[in-house]
Structure 1
C-alpha cells in the first residue's frame, strides 16, 4: 500500500470505510462464485485479484500488473522445462541455476515500463508452480482465465468504490 493510499484510507469516514469494505467483499464473493461456476480454482482467481491490487494507483498500472502476472505464469513453465533439461548435466544444481537466471530477468526488468512489477511476476510463477499441472494450452487458458476473473474483480472493486463510495 502506498503512502497516498494509506492517507486516503485514514481520511475515510467510518461510513466510507465500511462501504469500501463491503464493496470489496461483495465483488470478491461474486468473483469466487463465478470462478467456481466455471470450474476454475478460486485460489487462482485470487492470484489475479492480488496482482491487480499490487499497483492500484491507475488502470494502466493495474493492467501492467496483470501482464506481469501472466508473463510470470509463462516464465514458470519455461523454468520448469529448463530445469528438467538441465538435471541430467547439472543434477541438483539445475534448480538454483535456473532460479538465478529467472531472478536476474525479473529483477532486471524492475525499471522497464509495463513489465516492471516484480511482485506480479513472482506471483505468476507461484501460481504456475502451485497449480502443479502439466504444461499445455488448456493449463495456460485455465490459469489466465481464472486470474483474469480476479483482475476484473479488482477493477470492478476500484471502479465501484471510486464511483459510489469515495464521492
Structure 2
C-alpha cells in the first residue's frame, strides 16, 4: 500500500506532462530525455543546471557539426560529414577533462536531441527545442518533490 501514492504521483505527472507536450506539439521524447536526465545526473537544481548546460552545448555542437560538414563537403565531398563528426566528437576528450563540463552523456543527449528533432538550422527553431527540455526538468523536479514528501510522510507514520 505504500507504493500506491508514489504510483499515483508518477502517473499523474506523466499524464500531465504528455498532455501538455501533445497540446503544445512538442517532441514528447525530448521532454522525457530531460526528465530522465534529472534522475540520472543528480536530482538537484545545481546538478540539473550543469546537465542542462551540457545538453545545450551538445545541441550547439550538433549545429557546428552540420555547418562544418557543409563546408568540408565542398572540399572533400561525402567525407565532409564524417570529418566534421570526428573533429567535434574528438574534442569531447579534451572538454571532458574540465571540472564542470565533463558529463559526456549529457553532451551526447544534446547531440541526439538536435539530430533527432532535425530542425532547420535557424535560431528560433533550435531555441524552441529548449522549451520541452526545460519542461522535462521541471516536471521531473516537481514529481521528485512530491515523491520525497510522500516518503517523508510515510516515514513519520
Question: Which TM class, normalised by the smaller chain length?
Answer: 0.7 to 0.9
* Contact 2:5/2:150 (8 A) holds in 1: no
RMSD of Structure 2 on Structure 1 (CA) = 2.0
- Residues 1:37 and 2:20 are matched in the alignment: no
Kindly report which structure 2 residues correspond to 1:109-148, keeping only aligned pairs within 5 A, or say none: 109-148=95-134
Distance 1:159 1:68 in 2: 24
- Residues 1:66 and 2:65 are matched in the alignment: no
With normalisation by structure 1, the TM-score equals: 0.80
Deviation track 1:97-151 (CA, whole Å, cap 9, x = no partner) reads 2122222222332242332221111011111111122111221222101111111
Q: How many residues align?
A: 153
Deviation track 1:38-78 (CA, whole Å, cap 9, x = no partner) reads 22221221222122223125331122111111111121111
Residue of structure 2 in register with 1:15 after alignment: 2
Unaligned runs of 5+ in 2: none
Distance 1:88 1:32 in 2: 42
Residue of structure 1 in register with 2:82 after alignment: 96
Unaligned runs of 5+ in 1: 1-13
Moved more, 136-145 or 98-107: 98-107
With normalisation by structure 2, the TM-score equals: 0.85
* Contact 2:120/2:126 (8 A) holds in 1: no
Change (3 A) 1:28 1:117: farther
Among residues 5, 29, 34, which one is paired with 1:48 in the alignment?
A: 34
Report runs of 4+ in structure 1 exceeding 6 Å deviation: none
Change (3 A) 1:102 1:53: farther
Distance 1:54 1:112 in 2: 20
* Contact 1:82/1:98 (8 A) holds in 2: yes
Distance 1:44 1:108 in 2: 27
* Contact 1:47/1:150 (8 A) holds in 2: yes
